[in-house]
């Protein structure tokens, strides 16, 4: 099999930003260098999928996500990564990474999860929704035969992490729900090798697969894209209700949870929506769940909209803080004070961030160094 240089655009953009900040994580660049040459393959996988049932009338029904695709012979589900072959459902992307990179954990973003550490990040092709603002649409909306894939079985992922001293694996970039089996097996193997796993997800997954997955994960970040059902229908191509239910399920499981809300101008940016969102988080998850607001930049099918004004982000921040949420962050605004973590009790700065860089971390054993208030998360 051909050995050749492999580096996707996601890695390139990371490298570009790293090079702009010349002293930015030099050890990451060294780690990536030895991780970048892998075998490209044209073959798709044919591992039997989990959570499907055979239908009496023929065909199969997938139970991984709320779409419950019903799939006849030689057809695929909506995500394009699962295929019925003679009434046996297969995942076509098991062990086939189309993007991999070494990222700061802050890029996920996870702000209360081992700050300043790195994660080996990987994705396969495919997604179970079609967000009009997707920044990774070139892989999320592709079928696996349209992407450059690397043959990377779970044991190889673990070997990379061990060789490069990477403490965490992040399933990210596309939607890990659609490569569930691959993610699960890596996470399980990682757990027995003391390597953590974090899922960066849209939360559009079924209850049972999530229930069985959570014990092998250490943290989940969910993109709660709106608090309105019509936005999910028209802009995301999914449903809000199952996402809200899965977020509550994750919170109740005790697995560390953070939320991100991308503010898209004119589509989900009103003070009423921010109030609804803040109220829902407070009631269902508690005031100590971190909530990140992220700035939109025009791309994919929404190139006609402007970037989110800073004032809109600050309005969202203010409404959530007034509602009582204790850890609210603004993202894609490098240098803004709301990138940092403050003690909700004494107001002292606990973790100072600029972009993905940590300038100080004053949390000692999950407590504020000044007033000893407990700070939730894994530090």
Please give the residue ranges that form the binding site for ligand SF4 (CB under 6 A): 62, 64-65, 67-69, 77-79, 82, 128, 178
Q: How far apart are CA 242 and CA 181, in angstroms?
A: 21
First to last CA, the chain: 42
Nearer to ligand SF4, 239 or 352 (CB): 239
Q: How far apart are CA 252 and CA 210, in angstroms?
A: 12
Nearest distance in Å: CB 140, ligand SF4:
12
Nearer to ligand SF4, 178 or 222 (CB): 178
Nearest distance in Å: CB 70, ligand SF4:
9
Nearer to ligand SF4, 89 or 111 (CB): 89
Nearest distance in Å: CB 86, ligand SF4:
17
Give me the residues paired with residue 219 across strands: 198, 256
Q: Which residue is nearest to ligand SF4 (CB)?
A: 77
Cβ(212)–Cβ(189) below 8 Å: no
Nearest distance in Å: CB 122, ligand SF4:
18
Cβ(11)–Cβ(47) below 8 Å: no
- Alpha-carbon distances, residue 236 vs 22, 123, 130, 278, 293 (angstroms): 37, 20, 6, 21, 17
Give the number of other Cβ atoms within 10 Å of residue 302's Cβ: 18
Nearest distance in Å: CB 71, ligand SF4:
7
Nearest distance in Å: CB 128, ligand SF4:
4
Nearer to ligand SF4, 25 or 78 (CB): 78
Nearer to ligand SF4, 243 or 291 (CB): 243
Nearer to ligand SF4, 35 or 178 (CB): 178
Question: Residue 273: helix, strand or coil by DSSP?
Answer: helix
Q: Is 24 exposed, middle or buried (0-12, 13-18, 19+ CB in 10 A)?
A: middle
Give the number of other Cβ atoms within 10 Å of residue 252's Cβ: 12
């Amino acid at each position: 099999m051909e050995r050749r240089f492999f580096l996707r655009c996601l890695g390139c953009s990371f490298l570009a930003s790293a090079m702009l900040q010349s002293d930015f994580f030099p050890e990451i660049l060294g780690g990536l260098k030895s991780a970048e040459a892998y075998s490209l393959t044209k073959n798709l996988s044919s591992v039997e999928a989990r959570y499907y049932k055979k239908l009496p009338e023929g065909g199969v029904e997938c139970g991984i996500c709320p779409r419950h695709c019903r799939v006849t012979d030689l057809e695929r589900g909506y995500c394009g990564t699962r295929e019925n072959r003679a009434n046996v459902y297969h995942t076509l992307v098991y062990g086939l990474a189309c993007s991999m990179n070494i990222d700061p954990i802050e890029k996920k973003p996870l702000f209360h999860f081992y700050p300043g550490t790195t994660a080996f990040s990987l994705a396969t092709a495919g997604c179970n929704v079609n967000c009009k603002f997707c920044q990774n649409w070139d892989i999320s909306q592709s079928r696996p035969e349209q992407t450059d894939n690397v043959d990377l079985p779970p044991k190889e992922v673990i070997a990379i992490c061990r060789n490069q001293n990477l403490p965490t694996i992040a399933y990210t970039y596309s939607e890990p729900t659609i490569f569930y089996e691959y993610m699960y097996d890596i996470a399980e193997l990682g757990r027995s090798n003391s390597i953590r796993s974090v899922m960066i997800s849209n939360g559009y997954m079924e209850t049972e697969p999530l229930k069985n997955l959570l014990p092998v994960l250490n943290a989940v970040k969910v993109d709660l894209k709106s608090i309105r059902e019509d936005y999910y229908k028209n802009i995301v191509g999914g449903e809000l209700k199952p996402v809200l239910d899965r977020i509550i399920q994750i919170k109740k499981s005790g697995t560390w949870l953070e939320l991100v809300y991308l503010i898209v101008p004119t589509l989900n940016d009103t003070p009423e929506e921010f109030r609804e969102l803040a109220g829902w988080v407070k009631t269902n998850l508690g005031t100590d769940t971190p909530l990140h607001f992220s700035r939109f930049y025009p791309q994919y099918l929404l190139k006609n909209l402007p970037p989110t004004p800073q004032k809109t982000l600050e309005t969202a921040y203010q409404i959530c803080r007034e509602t009582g949420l204790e850890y609210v962050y603004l993202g894609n605004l490098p240098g803004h004070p709301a990138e940092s973590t403050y003690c909700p009790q004494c107001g002292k700065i606990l973790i100072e961030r600029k972009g993905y860089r940590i300038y100080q971390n004053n949390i000692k054993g999950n407590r504020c160094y000044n007033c000893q208030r407990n700070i939730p998360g894994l530090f």
